[in-house]
Structure 1
């Protein structure tokens, strides 16, 4: 910890968590909420809302939402050892250690994140970071690590330290269930969510999917999240939460500052650069007529001069598939999505997250001429033999097909699947034009009441 930045008797500390949850339960944001509560009790003064950093959603070893957490605060130097001990014990208690794919990690940094940590964070969001690379950076930057099993979680924990969200960002208020409610259906009044959305949109987003008539703020798994409201400001999500009616006790809520809904993962690339598991944005030309394959997925081939690659709108994208199906060879587009590795029956494919149509090609079709006597459509008498009218028998040996330009169903604009198919990082329509910057760090200390509420009936013992 020799890189500590003493300010009087205070240290500036950043604590990152990752890889604590599982398909069986657990939640890294819940762990961060508990950790924030403990740190406040130890006298920590928070410099920012708890940070929720979504990493590359295409990595095969990700946890459910591939989210890492960071807490940034000031603390008296003689309390740091105690704070780390408390956090490690909390990690041991809350992480789903029995899951073989869960590898929890805690990273502690004193001082501000270096350029190298920020670089690693960007790479973890837009690409692939190897564990060995992360461990090397941690050693060079004086980051204290605590790994409960293997070191896989170190990547996300370090990325959370380095991603200070000085670019575009949003907020999410997450409300958590009481222990006795876990495992039972969530009791959130759907009509109140509809009304909340009406009153707060576009300052909140992705509350509902109107195409499927589905509430999106409530998960369906065994984790402790009751609901999560995403929005442009902390004030917006806090107000929205007051409009939601729930019929079960809320143990706590926490407001996170996050890169969700920002497209932070998408990186310009070429087909030649489209390696497996990378999120990419590639400009090219539609090289094949889209086709529907078993499962209801729609696939076409994209070419950009460096190669060809298949692009797929999968069944969960709903009506977005109709947009993709209406493309024509020659259309100029930008495709956005993650690169899926080849399988036994399919080549390497971009899983489409959105589609920008840059230029539509003209769609010209040939139609048979009409009969001058009765107005019916003529039919061909054979190659080079002209046409005849099946209705009245009139023949036209010199008639030819007429070429017309058919109106396209598409327009040159951005198309995004319905919200139910969005990744955590996908920027929805409502956020375009609302991008923001986080401003320079350090930030002013926050009151705990600005980001954390704990129901006294369920307050955890220190």
Structure 2
């Protein structure tokens, strides 16, 4: 006969059970939560924690989950969780290395911030787990222990919520069934309290994944009431069940101030500087410029997948003072959003269209006006135009936004 001790509080952490071909750590966490409730445990909080988006070994979104549990024995919770991982995790995937952690006291949040903003090794994670006396199991190379420990160590001074609906087992791997109009209606009725449901500019559904994972859709918003209200407008296949997760998504929690020595590979920053070179559109559609900050010149890229965001980036002029947010990878800052602070000039002058053939004209030389690329048309003078950039945040489209990046609708008071 086995005896269990009953305690009033414990945390279960889980990570790295998914793969590009299926499964989802939140889905597995939700299944475990349902099983624990069926066995008489109380699950008081479901938390989804996004970590450093720049790690190269992530499977998809680099997220761990934690469950706050009471009313039972930690060893029983640990055994149940390990059983579900062994049954559902995609072990055939090289990048899938699950981790399970159970603690009776929240660990030092310093580990969470390290995993969120910098990097952690498996060795230091195991050392910490042993030091705090945690129950833990790392499968394969054990990398999932990093996210699992980070999840139970997390503190969320700013938080958002996501309602994730999951598909029935019999339809997994088949195309998702839904009507687009319901998602657009939901955004119209609930914004700005919800976000990243659709992209109105491109007329795209953003919250429905395309892969083989069990998620049907995910609605993000400022509190549980708003994300649950949104689902009432949707017309989709019947979900198996849904779960509301407390998250650090949309909070900019990954951003650091720029170090005095310049950016570090794999870290993300928010800082202000001066545009040092004009934006140039490279082959492939990427837009590049240089910003000068902390006595360092930093290359900044708005990549092609950011689509219409690049139009605003192209409007920047040398001398503009701006605040930027982005991740530093492979020697360049991947721009997530920017806000003008002070424009170098309130007017700009761009190459005109040819009055003869309508083609784009180029400079004919200093003080010589413009000449047409296609015909002999010439223009002597081009009037200055008022600049259209405003003192507000410009951000990438919803479909290109990183999970942690704070959307502009949450930054109206942020100057």
Task: Say if 2:262 and 2:296, in contact at 8 Å, map to a contact too.
Answer: no
Separation in 2, partners of 1:361, 1:434: 24
SS in 2 for 1:333: strand
1:225 to 199, 215, 223: 215
2:179 to 189, 193, 212: 189
1:163 to 150, 154, 161: 154
SS in 1 for 2:277: coil
Can you list the C-alpha shifts for 1:317-363, whole angstroms capped at 9, x where unaligned?
1111111111111111122111111xxxxxx1011000121111127
Separation in 2, partners of 1:65, 1:213: 24
Task: Say if 1:278 and 1:339, in contact at 8 Å, map to a contact too.
Answer: yes
Task: Say if 2:348 and 2:387, in contact at 8 Å, map to a contact too.
Answer: no
SS in 1 for 2:82: helix
Shift of 1:306: 3.1
2:52 to 44, 56, 59: 56
Q: 1:226 to 1:404 in 2, by over 3 A?
A: closer
Residue of structure 1 equivalent to 2:353: none
Report the TM-score, using the length of structure 2 for normalisation. Answer: 0.87
Residue of structure 2 equivalent to 1:414: 393
2:77 to 64, 77, 83: 83
Can you list the C-alpha shifts for 1:213-255, whole angstroms capped at 9, x where unaligned?
1011110000000111111111111121122111x33111111
After superposition, the CA RMSD in angstroms is 2.4
Residue of structure 1 equivalent to 2:39: 42
Task: Say if 1:297 and 1:315, in contact at 8 Å, map to a contact too.
Answer: yes
Can you list the C-alpha shifts for 1:107-128, whole angstroms capped at 9, x where unaligned?
11012x13x3x01101211121
Separation in 2, partners of 1:365, 1:200: 38
Larger radius of gyration: 1
Task: Say if 2:78 and 2:100, in contact at 8 Å, map to a contact too.
Answer: no
Residue of structure 2 equivalent to 1:370: none
Higher relative contact order (CA 8 A, sep 6+): 1
- Say whether residues 1:362 and 2:329 are aligned partners: no
2:336 to 353, 356, 373: 353
Q: 1:365 to 1:174 in 2, by over 3 A?
A: closer
Q: 1:306 to 1:133 in 2, by over 3 A?
A: farther
Separation in 1, partners of 2:12, 2:188: 37
- Say whether residues 1:121 and 2:112 are aligned partners: yes
Q: Give the total of aligned pairs.
A: 385
Q: 1:53 to 1:198 in 2, by over 3 A?
A: same
Residue of structure 2 equivalent to 1:95: 89
SS in 1 for 2:234: coil
Separation in 1, partners of 2:229, 2:349: 58
SS in 2 for 1:103: coil
Runs of at least 5 residues in structure 2 that lack an aligned partner in the other structure:
351-364, 369-379
1:72 to 68, 73, 91: 68
- Say whether residues 1:294 and 2:283 are aligned partners: yes
1:171-182 equivalence runs, <5 A: 171-182=161-172
Separation in 1, partners of 2:7, 2:60: 36
1:274-285 equivalence runs, <5 A: 274-285=263-274
Q: After TM superposition, what 4+ stretches of structure 1 lie above 4 angstroms from structure 2?
A: 363-367, 401-406
Separation in 1, partners of 2:71, 2:239: 29
Separation in 2, partners of 1:311, 1:366: 23
Residue of structure 2 equivalent to 1:379: none
Can you list the C-alpha shifts for 1:249-269, whole angstroms capped at 9, x where unaligned?
311111100011111111111
Residue of structure 2 equivalent to 1:136: 127
Question: Is the deviation greater in 409-418 or in 181-190?
Answer: 409-418
1:105 to 99, 104, 108: 99
Report the TM-score, using the length of structure 1 for normalisation. Answer: 0.79
Q: 1:434 to 1:333 in 2, by over 3 A?
A: closer
Residue of structure 2 equivalent to 1:450: none
Task: Say if 1:63 and 1:102, in contact at 8 Å, map to a contact too.
Answer: yes
